[in-house]
Amino acid sequence: MSQVLFRQLVPLQVKYKDCEERRINVRVSIELQSVSNPVHRKDLVIQLTDDADPFFLYNLMISEEDFQSLKLQQGLLVDFSAFPQKFIDLLQQCTQEQGKEIPRFLLQLVSTAAILDHSPVFLNVVETNPFKHLTHLSLKLLPGNDMEIKKFLASCLKCSKEEKLSLEQTLEDVTRQFNFTQQ
Amino acid sequence: MSQVLFRQLVPLQVKYKDCEERRINVRVSIELQSVSNPVHRKDLVIQLTDDADPFFLYNLMISEEDFQSLKLQQGLLVDFSAFPQKFIDLLQQCTQEQGKEIPRFLLQLVSTAAILDHSPVFLNVVETNPFKHLTHLSLKLLPGNDMEIKKFLASCLKCSKEEKLSLEQTLEDVTRQFNFTQQ
């Protein structure tokens, strides 16, 4: 079972080695997945996709255990259950700063490797104040492999086909009504 | 450059090892791809997909050289340029026999391996007469790997999104006209 906590476009600054820095809008999904086998646990799944680039896919799964090390390592003061909402608040601050030349809050995807290297990347939420850059959060994401991208695209295609079917039905209804008024 | 010669649903009998025989409609695409680098040549690309199963993908590329061995091996009497139309004629005969309990012409996908084995399969056009089964053509297709399926799904998603956009625009037009008549 999976509960979608957030699925929105967020402005992102992409910085790859040897590549010009660019800004795109990415779809950030945050889901809580409940697993009950072998023991009951919850995992937080974070996914970045780009509606304009079908092969852009980055994933991170954080279990409660993973979160404990993340908490320690980054000096977080919230627990696992409160973390998703804090992360969403940060993302919304980035969205609010969209369009500003020097946004106060910025979501960054940073890699020290070249773009096709399939190495981990860092997703950072960075605040820029007059004094310095403050990293509020830094998450290590993995680029999707061919199998993961294949599955992701299959689910996108399923949604797109369903939306198309529903549009076709609405169009048929409206056209029928329109033709009726023309008689 | 690529020229689509045929892209239609054709009834197919699927026979895998250890699996019950089943009949589905597959989309058969036949394309002629022109390559001019390093030398000018044409390749015939045959692709089987299933609109209901995003991961169903089988490919075969036949160059003029490949065709010479196919011709020899299967005793074909046509040359490379006439082959696609002959193949299309056979596919259309299979389509015409659709729905018959014992179709005279049948397109078969046969594998001696299990379904998830990623081994080559044979696409056969078989005529059944009162005396025997006659194989008119037998082509060896390879199942798509994750990367090929990923690329195929990305192109399907692109088409689906374009069709959705065009539907949305038509719906908007018809709704506007309808609302106008209601005033």
Return the pLDDT at B116: 62
Q: Would you tell me which residues 15-54 of chain A have a C-beta closer than 8 angstroms to some C-beta of chain B?
A: 54
Q: Is B168 on the interface with A (CB under 8 A)?
A: yes
Host H or E run for residue A86: helix A83-96
CA distance A69 to B154: 37
Chain A residues with CB under 8 Å of B144 CB are none
- What's the rounded Cα separation, in Å, for the pair A126 and A74? 13
Q: Which of A27, A68, A28 is nearest to A46 (CA)?
A: A28
Closest chain A residue to the Cα of B168, Cα to Cα: A167
Distance separating alpha carbons of residues A137 and A62, to the nearest angstrom: 14
Instruction: Region of A96 please: left (phi>0), alpha (psi -120 to 50) or beta.
Output: alpha
Per DSSP, helices labelled H in B27-113 are: 64-74, 83-96
Q: What is the dihedral of CA A130, A136, A140, A143, to 10 degrees?
A: -60
**Is A167 at the interface with chain B, CB within 8 A?**
yes
Q: Label residue B95 by pLDDT band (50, 70, 90).
A: very high
> What is the average per-residue pLDDT within B37-42?
86
pLDDT digit string, tens, across residues A166-177: 999 999 999 998
Q: Is the pLDDT of residue A100 over 70?
A: yes
Q: Per-residue pLDDT averaged across B157-162, rounded?
A: 95
Burial of B170 (0-12, 13-18, 19+ CB in 10 A): middle
> Taking the CA atoms of chain B, what radius of gyration do you get in angstroms?
20
What residues does A26 pair with on adjacent strands? A10
Provide the CATH number for the domain formed by B2-167 in this structure. Answer: 2.170.210.20
Mean pLDDT of A101-115: 86
What integer pLDDT is reported at residue B8 of this predicted model? Answer: 96
| Mean pLDDT confidence for B45-57 | 95
Rounded (10°) CA dihedral B117, B122, B126, B131: -80
What average pLDDT does the segment B146-173 reach? 95
CA dihedral B150, B152, B154, B159 (to 10 degrees): -170
The pLDDT of residue B51? 93
Give pLDDT tens digits for A52-70: 999 999 999 999 999 999 9
Other beta carbons less than 10 A from residue B149's beta carbon: 23
Distance CA A141, CA A177 (A): 51
Which stretch of A157-171, B95-109, B148-162 has the lowest confidence by average pLDDT? B95-109
Query: Considering chain B, what percentage of its residues have pLDDT values greater than 70?
Result: 98
Q: Rounded mean pLDDT of B129-143?
A: 90
pLDDT over 70 at A116, yes or no: no
Structure tokens at B39: 């030398």
The token duo for B23 is 């009949």
Quote the Cα angle for B41-B43-B48, to 5°: 170
The pLDDT value recorded for residue B133 is 86
Tokens 């991170």 — which residue? Answer: A60
Q: Which residue of B has its CA nearest to A156?
A: B157
Provide the ipTM: 0.77
pLDDT 10s digits, B70-80:
999 989 999 99
Q: Does B7 touch chain A (CB under 8 A)?
A: no
Q: Is the pLDDT of residue A77 over 70?
A: yes
Res. B115 pLDDT band, cuts 50 70 90 = low
CATH superfamily of A2-144: Spindle assembly abnormal protein 6, N-terminal domain (2.170.210.20)
Round to whole Å and give the CA distance between A67 and A86. 14
* Whether pLDDT at B83 is above 90: yes
- pLDDT exceeds cutoff 90 at B159: yes
Tokens at B116, concatenated: 């998830």
Q: Which of A126-140, B55-69, B93-107 has the highest mean pLDDT?
A: B55-69
CA angle, B173 then B178 then B183, to 5°: 130
Instruction: Please name the member of A161, A174, A182 whose beta carbon is closest to the beta carbon of B160.
Output: A161
Distance, CA of A138 to CA of A71 (rounded, Å): 11
Euclidean distance between CA atoms A49 and A55, whole angstroms: 8
For the segment B5-24, the average pLDDT, to the nearest whole number, is 90
> What is the amino acid identity at position B82?
A
Residues 6+ apart with CB under 8 A from B37: none
A116 vs B96, which has greater pLDDT?
B96
Q: Is any Cβ of chain A less than 8 angstroms from the Cβ of B68?
A: no
In sequence order, what are the residues at sequence separation of 6 or more whose Cβ sits closer than 8 angstroms to the Cβ of residue B173?
none
Is a pLDDT exceeding 90 seen at residue B37?
no
Q: Give the nearest chain A residue to B52 (CA atoms).
A: A158
Per-residue pLDDT, averaged over B34-54, amounts to: 92
Using an 8 Å Cβ cutoff, are A137 and A110 in contact?
no
Q: Is the pLDDT of residue B38 over 90?
A: no
Say whether pLDDT at A51 is over 90: yes
CA distance B9 to chain A (A): 18
Percent of chain B with pLDDT over 90: 72
CB-based contact, B55 to chain A, within 8 Å: yes
**If you average pLDDT over each of A170-174, B35-39, B100-104, which comes out highest?**
A170-174
- The confidence score (pLDDT) of residue A178 equals 85
User: Is the pLDDT confidence value at A85 over 70?
Assistant: yes
CB contact under 8 Å between A157 and B160, yes or no, is yes
Which stretch of DSSP H or E encloses residue A177? helix A146-182
Say whether pLDDT at B168 is over 80.
yes
- Which residue is associated with the tokens 């209601």? B182
Cα A38 to Cα A35, A61, A93, B4, B45, distances in angstroms: 8, 18, 38, 51, 47
Q: Which helix (H) or strand (E) holds B134?
A: strand B133-143
